[in-house]
Structure 1
């Protein structure tokens, strides 16, 4: 009989232990992640009561694969477009919280006389909250439909991205063994460059590849292809000096923009769960109970620091970003724990052999304690808010309300701000592509040509010709692509003040393009020759091939944009959104026994009786935006209802079946959204009632709120008349509302 490898025996042991402990933890209604960690402790080398894993190195390899799949799955739920659209609130809150916790963690490590690297890793460990634990707590406590959860989801997106960046930066510092500002800036610049390049190349290539191979992609082949792409990016990221986790995350975020994202995520779920379980079990195997007991004081101190620090700084960040006191405190109490990313960062320190042996069990101990306290902290929000309302001076509370209201008033972007933003996007995209082509030419193309062609001059000329052919469409865009926006035209017409700066911008663009061509030629010729040839080449190409370059670049750009928005076009246009103030939108299913069935909206008078408004009705494959008062409700209709927490809770009792409110991470790329406009001389709404203005027909939407002189009207009557500087909140077609704003 053949000998059974130790790795198989060990896998049977750890998965068996994991299965038993997770069943127990589910029975106790505790996160299964904690069950995995306990299972790892029981079968690990530091606990002798049960059978022990023998091939520790083999398990660690599997655990590394688990990290890869965890980050790949996280990337599939992530989107660079979502990050760009989460809005300033989550971005500001997340930035304030992360910077504060990083600083506190490092400072506490130094106060406890830990080493520089231990203190640095401690800051990273306590800075990131647990997405898994928060999701589970929200679900168990039934608070997913409350408005503050949208803010929490947005902050978690920011934290996830920062955690990936932290892993890269901590790895860089661990290798260099010191904090060098110049090297750190170079590492950050290199990281941003490759992130941009991978995203651009991935969006340009992968959706097209998947579309053309769609007839061949069964569930099996799609899963294999997705894992192959993930591991391929992992290898590539490692080759250019980044972590495997970053490569997995990037490939997941690229695939997240394709129409296959949800299917890949579904197919990957069991694979991620398997390897993720092995990873968390390996986390428990590294716990030394003796070290944990010896460091009980730091564990308790750091747990208290995490709870109070995150409560204070998340709440403060939300207040600074303009959220009301209630939502800020609710968000703060929800994020008072650390979790899976803390384990990954702690494991990174152990793997790189740069942290002390006591740091890892301390991190796990803090995570366990803060995880157990999370549900209680979420429940603490309401009593804490009531206490704050009693102790805070009325003048302070009034100032906070005014500040929160002021941040929600629409601020029209200046023409210069719009133009600068568009110019930066265009310049950065083309610069990244040109630099990538230059690097490929120098390190790949020229060495290859030099081995194929004996004459150095001929090899150089062939390399230059091929590189120029690849570069020139992007050089043309950098030099001559026009900004197609009314703001640019408006600035140009105002010749008195804007001609000079606009001309300077155009000169800078052209100089930058010429410089890149000169850099290419300078790699093969002397500087004077390179300058002369550059001028000649630019002149000839821009005169002779200008039209061809323009058409070719437009095809490239159109393909990229089509791929980027392919998922949005294919997705069902679901009107899910978050609305202003304390009101928000919840999607509710009408049950078969509801008293609303068969009645028109006019007969139900929901606005008058419950203070809510219906933004849409989804009936099978039919979607009715801003339904008329004559529309009836039928069994199993899904309706989008706008109201505050109290109104929605009172209303949903009558319909019984309620779906989860869509989290922020799923709301950011929809055509139907919440927008706000100001009544001014451009849109001609002043003096007209909501009914007579035709705003419903123009925007395919619904007026859900009006701000006027610091007062707010939620779900206003259709007879309400618009006045100067009213801020109108509309649920409708984003593009049509934008057109109305620009009339």
Structure 2
């Protein structure tokens, strides 16, 4: 009889058990993750009814591969650009939740008499919610389009990055076994440095490589190349002291910015599902039912802490960020569970031998319970909101509404803010690149040149020269480049600020000189470094124009790669109907355009210009076949269909700027204001149409509180009565002027 390796029989047992349990869980409409965990419990060493896996060491290796592909897949869905687009509200909510749950987890562990490391890891386990379970619950309940769902997705994106940070910090803490502030800060700085360096290098190189090799790639080769890139980054992350999972996540997030992202995600999904199943089955194999019985009390307590702590922390974060009571409660009730990252954090504790054996099964049990409760928590969120609103005093409700309205004010961005933010971003980015180049030169280039080409001082000079050539465009950008020329010019026009601009320019040049000194000091003495550094500055000045051209080419390639997906999506919209010599193209609407604020029927684009507006893109929202009453807003993207001549005429029209506004107009802050109708109000007994609030205050009436009833978006024939509270979106000072005119009348 042919002998089968134990690995094959173990895999047959694992996948067979996983297949049966997941079919059952699919029938019961429960998360498959729980099915995998139960399958692992059945084939594990603690359950004698079925055959058990014989070589758990091999399965552990496969499970580690499963973590890598699981994180790689999460990275493909993550995208750093999504993180940048996440609103301040979601960021505040996520950070408050993580801090609160870290503290609650630690205190709960101490209350149960656990040691310090178990308590710390418990805090990390409880702080991250399950993206997979939440998305599935939203889809089943049909709430993905609700306002709170968008906030929750933002929270999950921030949590993914925080989870990666936690993996690094907990690894550092486990190794040092002490709360050394300098070590933790160094770990965070190291993570930030390598994250940014890998992201910049990856976006510059990988999309270009995939684009140039696209003709040679079918599905098979694209899958192989993607997995190779993933594993190469895993090796690189391990080389610099990070967990392999971090490398997989970073490569996934880099590939998420390419035009091949959806295809790679589709190709990798089967591999991820296979190894992910093995990982979750291995999670179940580590569960000892006797441990669960022994720790039933702690499991119940930790489950309660998770449900209550997460709900309250997210709700509190939502209220602090001005999201309103209903949205905050719905968001809080949606994230009250733990999932994939929690298992990975628990696995980290076991791998490093710093946590007790019981912590892992306890975490899995809490995850299972909170997974089952998630749909019910989401369903109960709205009834809970109504009950809380009924219990709270009217003054509190009014204060919350007023705070929420005030938090939604839209302010203008000053020139100073634009310039300083651009300089700060440039400083961080170019600092990381320059330090990265110097580190590569010192660690790899210099030894290579000395060992294989030239030894002695000549080898040092060659290494320094090659490194400087690569550094030159970034030194020039750091010292000379002005990313916000127009804003800088407006500031320079004010003589009072010229001295500050000069100081800023001087500081930038000094920083560039210090980086040159940093490079030279790797190979020469300080005295030689200073002399050579001054000579290099002179050379950079002489060849400034050529360096500038080289830098612009680098920047253009990076930005094209970074925005490749958006460019590709836009290109798909540009089709030509040859028989009619007409095509579809897009226009960005400037905030100063004459069309801003007007509806399509008011603009009469078809009648005047012969074109049709087919699609309006507004942020993440796409309006297909917009109605004639749809209004155009600043930064909208209009997809317009017409001939070349018609589109050119339309382009000239939308390029016309509105008449220049007064100084007061430029200082307008748009916000939600309320206006009380009194006996001497000029609006009393008038309809919305007759009141002319749009013309007098440049405002839009969005709600009226009349006789205790709230009317959202009232019709234009609604009559104002004494005691009505009118909610208006518009220029706050103009609305106050309207109130003042009422009092004078």
Q: What TM-score, normalized to structure 2?
A: 0.80
Does the alignment pair 1:330 with 2:330? yes
- Distance, in Å, in 1 between the alignment partners of 2:704 and 2:234 is 55
* Structure 2 Cα separation of the partners of residues 227 and 714 of structure 1: 52
Looking at structure 1, the residues matched to 472 and 390 of structure 2 have their Cα atoms a distance apart, in angstroms, of: 66
In structure 2, what is the equivalent of residue 146 of structure 1?
146
Shift of 1:451: 0.6
- Partners of 1:427 and 1:68 lie apart in 2 by 33
Q: CA deviation at 1:488?
A: 2.0
Partners of 1:313 and 1:72 in 2: CA distance: 29
Which residue does the alignment assign to 1:237? Answer: 237
Alignment match, 2:564: 566
SS at match of 1:380: helix
**How big is the shift at 1:485?**
4.2
For the 8 Å contact 2:36–2:284, the answer to whether it is kept is yes
Alignment correspondent of 1:643: none
Instruction: Give the aligned partner of residue 501 of structure 1.
Output: 500
Is 2:159 aligned against 1:159? yes
Alignment match, 1:311: 311
Assess if the C-alpha contact under 8 Å between 1:148 and 1:330 holds in 2.
yes
* Pairing 1:601-680 to 2, within 5 Å after superposition: 626-628=626-628
Three-state SS of the structure 2 residue aligned to 1:681 is helix
Provide structure 1 residue ranges, at least 5 long, that are not aligned to the other structure: 576-600, 603-613, 631-639, 641-677, 696-702, 729-743
Secondary structure of 2:305's aligned partner: helix
Q: Does 1:511 align with 2:495?
A: no
Shift of 1:627: 3.3
- Which residue does the alignment assign to 1:360? 360
Which residue number in structure 2 is paired with residue 85 of structure 1?
A: 85
Q: Equivalent residue of 1:458, what SS?
A: helix
| Contact map agreement 1:338 1:371 (CA 8 A) in 2 | yes
| 1:376 corresponds to | 376
Per the alignment, residue 283 of structure 1 pairs with 283
| Partner SS for 1:10 | helix
1:617 to partner: Cα distance:
8.3
Which of 655, 660, 665 is matched with 1:681 structurally? 665
Q: For 2:344 and 2:624, how far apart are their aligned partners in 1?
A: 46
Structure 1 residue 574: Cα displacement: 11
Distance of 1:76 and 1:714 partners within structure 2: 40
> What pairs with 1:7-18 in structure 2 (closer than 5 Å)?
7-18=7-18
Going from structure 1 to structure 2, the CA distance change for 1:389 and 1:550 (only over 3 Å counts) comes to same
| Cα deviation 1:451-502 (Å, max 9, x = unaligned) | 1245411111111111111111111111110133433222222221x22322
Q: 1:623: how far off? A: 7.8
Q: Which residue of 2 aligns with 1:246?
A: 246
Aligned to 2:534: 535
Higher relative contact order (CA 8 A, sep 6+): 1
Contact 1:460–1:524, Cα closer than 8 Å, also in 2: yes
TM-fit CA distance, 1:259: 0.5
Distance in 1 of aligned mates of 2:349 and 2:453: 47
Distance 1:91 1:574, change over 3 A: farther
Match of 2:394 in 1: 394
Matches within 5 A, 1:178-193: 178-193=178-193
* Residue aligning to 2:681: none
| 107-116 or 281-290: bigger deviation | 107-116
Task: State the secondary structure of the residue aligned to 1:408.
Answer: coil
Q: In the alignment, is the contact (CA less than 8 A) between 2:230 and 2:247 conserved in 1?
A: yes
Please state whether the residue corresponding to 1:450 is helix, strand or coil: helix
Does the aligned pair in 1 maintain the 2:347–2:360 contact within 8 Å?
yes
Equivalent residue for 1:421?
421
1:548 has 2:532 as partner: no
Distance (Å, rounded) in 2 between the aligned partners of 1:727 and 1:348: 58
Give the paired residue count. 628
Q: Is the 8 A contact 2:37 2:283 kept in 1?
A: yes
Q: Any residues of structure 2 matched to 1:37-186 within 5 Å, and which?
A: 37-186=37-186
Distance 2:533 2:711 in 1: 62
Deviation at 1:21, TM superposition (A): 0.7
Match of 2:590 in 1: none
Matching residue of 1:466:
466
2: CA distance between counterparts of 1:493 and 1:712? 49
Unmatched 5+ stretches in structure 2: 574-599, 602-612, 631-638, 640-660, 671-687, 718-727, 736-745
Counterparts of residues 20-31 of structure 1 (less than 5 Å): 20-31=20-31
After superposition, residues 240-279 of structure 1 pair within 5 angstroms as 240-279=240-279
Shift of 1:505: 1.7
Tell me by how many angstroms 1:145 deviates: 2.6
What's the TM-score once normalised by structure 1's chain length? 0.80
Conserved 8 A contact 1:704-1:715? no
Tell me if structure 2 keeps the 8 A contact 1:90–1:151.
yes
Map 1:289-308; keep pairs closer than 5 Å. 289-308=289-308
CA distance in 2, matches of 1:211, 1:163: 32
Name the CA shift for 1:25/1:684 in 2 (closer, same or farther; >3 Å). closer
Deviation per residue, 1:522-558 (Å, 9 max, x gap): 2222111111111111112212x11100000000001
Matches of 2:336 and 2:624, distance apart in 1: 41
Report the CA distance between 1:48 and its aligned residue.
1.2
Aligned structure 1 segments of 4 or more residues deviating by more than 4 angstroms: 572-575, 614-618, 622-625, 682-686, 703-718, 721-728
Tell me if structure 2 keeps the 8 A contact 1:259–1:566: yes
User: Do 1:706 and 1:713's aligned partners in 2 also have CA atoms closer than 8 Å?
Assistant: no
* SS of residue matched to 1:460: helix
Is contact 2:223–2:267 with CA below 8 Å preserved after alignment? Answer: yes
CA separation of 1:406 and 1:684: change in aligned 2, threshold 3 A: closer
Q: CA deviation at 1:625?
A: 5.9
Instruction: Output the CA distance in 2 between the equivalents of 1:61 and 1:716.
Output: 65
Structure 1 counterpart of 2:340 = 340
d(CA) in 1 for partners of 2:176, 2:30: 41
CA change 1:716–1:227 in 2 (3 A) is farther
Conserved? CA contact 1:343–1:363, under 8 Å = yes
8 Å contact from structure 1 (residues 705, 714) kept in 2: no
Task: Write the distance in 1 (CA, Å) between the matches of 2:403 and 2:332.
Answer: 19
Change in Cα spacing, 1:141 to 1:540, as seen in structure 2 (3 Å) is closer
- CA offsets, 1:344-398, max 9 Å, x none? 1101111111100111111011111111111111111122111111110111111
Aligned to 2:680: none
Superposition CA RMSD, Å: 3.2
- Larger deviation: 703-712 or 394-403? 703-712
What is the aligned partner in structure 2 of residue 19 from structure 1? 19
